């Protein structure tokens, strides 16, 4: 059944899904890889649409696949699909430009984090609503982290207590994200990095193990298992 979005919601969610996903091996673009018989993007959008504050969803698709992605998502939720760019940052900028007037909170969410629970969209949006301009979901780092130099020789041990692994959705006051993209220089791998460059404080909130990024074959196997447990 097609989900209904909330016409009184204050949140737009941008889903960059235009990457090739070479780390998963050859085949379809990563967002269209199958997980439990459905593309990652379908899983991701279904969970975005289940978050009660969501007013608008904009997906950036591979330029050659816009019509196919539109067709794919039509039964899932009302979604605007735009062509993505050569870099993730360009795909996000294209999606941001397609957000209609209204929502003042913008979340940016990677399609590769296909099992992210609806509650995480709500908790990130709630933090922005309560006054933070930029909010990222994070997990503590469990491994010991070493800095290495030439020939894989260890240069030092980083203090793990001060490190966080960053997930999506990343949440922003709309005007702050728009200004950061307008001023953007070299492409970065996340949007919080762009607003940091503008001197905007970024708040961390608790992330979710289920928001794992499905990047390598092992992640796909783990996600398949999680799906069978009802995720
Ligand atoms: O390559 P990476 O794993 O960092 O990609 C993160 C997300 O950005 C993926 O959902 C991918 O589809 C998206 N992306 C995009 N446009 C690009 C490159 C990546 O929308 N040109």
The residue with tokens 């009660």 is: 52
In angstroms, the Cα distances linking 183 to 25, 43, 147 are 34, 33, 31
On average, the pLDDT of the chain sits at 94
In the chain, count of helices (H) and strands (E)? Answer: 7, 12
Q: What is the pLDDT of residue 25?
A: 56
**How far apart, in whole angstroms, are the C-alpha atoms of residue 41 and residue 15?**
9
Q: Indicate whether residue 109 lines ligand 1 (CB < 6 A).
A: no
Q: How far is the CA of 78 from the centre of ligand 1 (A)?
A: 22
Give the global pTM.
0.95
> Does ligand 1 lie within 6 Å of residue 93's CB atom?
no
DSSP letter (8 states) at residue 180: H
Residue with tokens 């996340």: 190
pLDDT at position 42 over 60: yes
- Of residues 33 and 211, the one with the higher pLDDT is 211
What pLDDT sits at residue 90? Answer: 94
Q: Which stretch of 14-18, 24-28, 188-192, 227-231 has the lowest confidence by average pLDDT?
A: 24-28
Q: Which helix (H) or strand (E) holds 46?
A: helix 40-49
pLDDT tens digits for range 175-228: 999 999 999 888 888 899 999 999 999 999 999 999 999 989 999 999 999 999
Q: What is the CA radius of gyration of the chain?
A: 17
Residue 157 CA, ligand 1 centroid: distance in Å: 30
* The length of the chain, given as a count of residues: 231
Q: 23 C-alpha to center of ligand 1: Å?
A: 11
The model's confidence at residue 30, banded by pLDDT at 50, 70 and 90, is confident
Position 139 scores a pLDDT of: 98
Ligand 1 site, residue 86, Cβ cutoff 6 A: yes
Residue nearest (by alpha carbon) to ligand 1 atom 7? 110
Query: What's the confidence (pLDDT) of residue 20?
Result: 72
């Amino acid at each position: 059944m097609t989900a209904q979005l909330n016409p009184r919601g204050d949140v737009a969610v941008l889903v960059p899904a235009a990457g090739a996903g070479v780390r998963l091996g050859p085949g379809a673009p990563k967002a269209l890889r199958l997980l439990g018989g459905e593309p990652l993007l379908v899983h991701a959008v279904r969970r975005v649409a289940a978050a009660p504050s969501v007013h608008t969803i904009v997906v950036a698709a591979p330029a050659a696949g816009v019509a196919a992605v539109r067709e794919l998502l039509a039964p899932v939720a009302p979604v605007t699909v735009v062509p993505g760019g050569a870099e993730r940052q360009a795909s996000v900028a294209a999606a941001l430009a397609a957000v209609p007037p209204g929502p003042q909170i913008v979340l940016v969410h990677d399609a590769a984090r296909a099992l992210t629970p609806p509650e995480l969209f709500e908790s990130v949006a709630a933090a922005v609503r309560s006054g933070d301009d930029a909010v990222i979901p994070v997990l503590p780092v469990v491994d010991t982290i070493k800095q290495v130099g030439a020939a894989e020789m260890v240069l030092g041990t980083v203090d793990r207590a001060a490190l966080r692994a960053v997930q999506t959705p990343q949440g922003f006051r709309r005007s702050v994200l728009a200004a950061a993209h307008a001023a953007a220089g070299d492409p970065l791998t996340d949007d919080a990095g762009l607003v940091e460059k503008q001197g905007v404080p970024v708040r961390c909130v608790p992330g979710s193990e289920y928001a794992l990024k499905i990047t390598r074959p092992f992640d796909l196997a783990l996600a398949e298992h999680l799906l069978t447990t009802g995720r």
